[in-house]
């Protein structure tokens, strides 16, 4: 029996967006999630000056991301990867419109914690982005150095401590060519992005911009 089917027996499926019985994300909510309005945001502390996201981390867009990040219902996760990936490509287009690209574009995805080594959710979203931007190079130069607790429920200070020294850069010769674009699926306080920027800059890969599907904009305490 497939992994997702066990959960269907224990808990009947309900749409994570509207709560109606049926699919994990109904057609109506899929349409809403795919119709976001990406925009430039004031970057979190430590993030590149150029930062854009597909929208706030709320409502249907948040629900779609949570389903995609889940380890369950793999078929639905794969379908959502295409939807969210197209949204991410539109976010990148917002940055391109600023006219600050230097090709090639080196896309650096943020890696997951080592406690979840089997999946790389951000990379799963990058296929539409690769297709949308010419001369793009997927540079998986960031790696997770250690397993770290979940960020959920932590305030800004605790999140920063949790991701401190969490990343490392693979050994590479020379410096990054073109534009370095840091990509995450959701940015909350920006602690992970700031930690990644610090490590990349020290290695000669300073990020020029960062994008995410959603931005939670949690206030610092």
For residue 165, pLDDT beyond 90: no
Q: Point out which residues pair with 50 in neighbouring strands.
A: 209
Structural domain includes residue 22: no
Question: Is there a domain that residue 209 lies in?
Answer: yes
Higher pLDDT, 14 or 163: 14
Q: Which domain covers residue 176, as residue numbers?
A: 37-215
Q: Per the domain annotation, does 84 fall within a domain?
A: yes
- The number of angstroms, rounded, from the C-alpha of 103 to the middle of its chain's C-alpha atoms is 22
* Number of domains observed in the structure of the chain: 1
Q: For 179-215, how does the pLDDT look when each residue is reduced to its tens digit (9 = 90+)? A: 999 999 999 888 899 999 999 999 889 999 999 999 9
Q: Is the pTM of this model over 0.85?
A: no
The answer to whether position 29 is within a domain reads no
Closest by Cα among 58, 29, 69, 63 to 184: 69
Say how far apart CA 180 and CA 198 lie, in whole Å: 13
Q: Is 15 inside a domain boundary?
A: no
- Here the CATH number for the domain that contains residue 102 is 3.40.50
> Is residue 220 scored above 50 in pLDDT?
no
Q: Would you say residue 133 lies in a domain?
A: yes
Is 18 within the bounds of a domain?
no
Mean per-residue pLDDT of the chain: 78
Taking residues 150-156, report their average pLDDT.
Answer: 56
Is residue 153 one of the residues assigned to a domain? yes
Max mean pLDDT range (19-23, 31-35, 100-104, 207-211): 207-211
Other CB atoms within a 10 A radius of the CB of residue 185 amount to 21
């Amino acid at each position: 029996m497939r992994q997702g089917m066990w959960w269907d027996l224990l808990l009947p499926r309900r749409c994570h967006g509207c709560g109606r019985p049926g699919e994990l994300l109904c057609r109506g909510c899929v349409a809403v999630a795919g119709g976001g309005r990406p925009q430039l945001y004031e970057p979190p502390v430590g993030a590149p000056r150029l930062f854009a996201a597909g929208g706030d981390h709320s409502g249907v867009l948040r629900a779609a991301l949570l389903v995609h990040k889940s380890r369950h219902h793999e078929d639905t996760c794969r379908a959502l990867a295409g939807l969210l990936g197209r949204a991410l490509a539109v976010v990148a287009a917002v940055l391109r419109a600023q006219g600050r690209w230097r090709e090639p574009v080196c896309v650096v995805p943020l890696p997951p914690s080592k406690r979840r080594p089997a999946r790389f959710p951000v990379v799963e979203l990058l296929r539409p982005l690769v297709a949308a931007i010419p001369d793009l190079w997927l540079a998986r130069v960031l790696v997770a150095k250690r397993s770290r607790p979940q960020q959920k429920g932590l305030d800004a200070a605790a999140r920063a401590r949790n991701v401190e020294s969490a990343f490392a850069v693979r050994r590479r010769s020379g410096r990054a060519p073109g534009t370095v674009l840091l990509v995450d699926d959701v940015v909350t306080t920006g602690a992970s992005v700031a930690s990644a920027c610090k490590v990349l800059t020290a290695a000669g890969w300073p990020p020029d911009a960062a994008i995410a599907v959603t931005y939670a904009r949690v206030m610092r305490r």
